[in-house]
Amino acid sequence: MGNTTSTPLVFVDGFDAARPGLPGADLSWLKDIREAGIKRFNGLGLPTPKLENWKYTRLKSLEDTRFQPVTDEDGMAALDHVPSLLPDPGGRPRLVFVNGRMRPSFWIEGDLPSGVHLECLRDTLARDPDWAEAYLGRLTGDDHQALVQLNTAMMDTGFALRVDAGVVIEQPIEVVFIGGLTNRPVAYFPRNLIVLAAGAQATVVIHHVGMGIGAYFANTVTEIDIGEGARLNHYKVQAETRDATHLSTVHVNVAKDAAYEAFTLSIGGRLSRNEVSVRLEGEGARAGLNGAYLMRGSEHCDNTTVIEHLAPHTTCREIFKGVLDDQSRAVFQGKIIVRKEAQGTDGHQLCKTLLLSTGAEIDAKPELEIYADEVKCSHGATTGQIDETALFYLRSRGIPEAQARNLLVQSFVGEALDEISNEDVRHAFTDKVLHWLPAACFRSDEWRGK
């Protein structure tokens, strides 16, 4: 598909044409940051393996497809049901995006308490542009991340969640991004903002799911600001199609005594990367950054995390479990940085991968960078195969081999899933893992009995 002499032109070319239809087209400050973003992206180009933290994930294939922006029509693609993660969405707030467009008919406002604003980015830009201006791009750090720059230029969808001080939302908020229902390769660029004021609490479940057969590229950026003593549970399932590329960048600020709990479950996507940077800025800030990836075929999944301890007595706990079958590939890069001020830091990181096939591969790079003297930090990465003794043990009790293997995979991933504090979500994610397994024989209600 032709002209790829200068690397990122695919997206840059489409910028001018897409611009008038993008949300907030009439806001001059937004025009400026979009302009700056595309310029910067043009200068940087798509990340290449020459960059230190892109050594193991190649985006070359993105250049070979001429992705087109999505249209309102794409957003109206026929859809008979919304794949909900949580049982009975009844009164639970839910936002649904189809091919990158908000679908109002699937929107459930739910019983949100007052002091909570949940809407799509387009509405936020129209309703409260000053607030959006204050937050957009505030947490994305310097401008070295090309994918963030590209998103800033092209952001055409996404949501904003704002929770006022002290407001506690009991119900998990579900946000569904459905891709793949187009007949041509499309790209969409969700930009999400989650801002919790002091003492607020929320649980957000983000579900990226591919339903059709079309190739698509989702480039998402999420900025999260967690105020003093606030708590955010941020759960994500990435279940894209085998033809999808999913690149996600998350930036999180955690204030004094605030908590950020994240779990990213990756179970589908030809090429995916979940990059998360967490800044523990205030004393006593905590982060639980966990995930699991289950890949097969020739899928590639990259989890890259940076947790930066900037204040005393901050803690982090990070557990990633990977299961790789066939020729699939995964990357885990986990960096914990402890700045000089962050005395009394407690950090723990673990990445374990289970290889189900000799063709599968993992590149794991755990890293500690410590500048403070009084810290407790540990990290580790292991790679192994199904334990033959355990397999024999199960089979010797009459459990058929395929079922025994599933059980061991389930057991392996379970250690990470256990980190999910929200019980409904933990069950929903366990179900997702069970469905990933070949011909799973175990019924989830039994697992729940555990």
Partner 1 sequence: MSKKKAKKMLEIKNLHVSVDGTEILKGLDLSVNPGEMHAIMGPNGSGKSTLSHVIAGRDGYEITGGRIIFQGEDLTGMAPEVRAAKGIFLAFQYPVEIPGVANTTFLKEALNAIRRFKGEGELDAMQFVKMMRAKTKELGISDDMLKRAVNVGFSGGEKKRNEVLQMAVLNPTLAILDETDSGLDIDALKIVAEGVNKLRSPQRSMLIITHYQRLLDYIVPDKVHVLAHGKIQRTGGKELALELEEKGYAEFDEAAA
Applying CB under 8 A, the residues found at the interface with partner 1 are 387-390, 392-401, 403-404, 407-408, 410-415, 418, 441-442, 446-447, 449-450
Question: What gap in Å lies between CA 79 and CA 77, rounded to an integer?
Answer: 6
When the beta carbons of 122 and 352 are compared against partner 1, the nearer one is 352
* Other CB atoms within 10 A of residue 326 CB: 13
Tokens linked to 177:
């991004």
When the beta carbons of 22 and 407 are compared against partner 1, the nearer one is 407
Query: Is the CB of residue 288 less than 8 Å from the CB of residue 264?
Result: no
Tokens linked to 317:
């706990």
Using DSSP's 3-state secondary structure scheme, residue 378 falls into: strand
When the beta carbons of 6 and 389 are compared against partner 1, the nearer one is 389
> Percentage helix, strand, coil, to 5, in the chain?
25, 40, 35
Query: Is the CB of residue 75 less than 8 Å from the CB of residue 412?
Result: no
- In whole angstroms, the minimum distance from the beta carbon of 203 to partner 1 comes to 23
Strands in 240-386 per DSSP E: 244-254, 259-268, 271-280, 286-295, 300-309, 315-324, 329-338, 345-355, 361-370, 375-384
When the beta carbons of 97 and 320 are compared against partner 1, the nearer one is 320
The per-residue DSSP string of 417-445 comes to HTT---HHHHHHHHHHHHHHSTT----HH
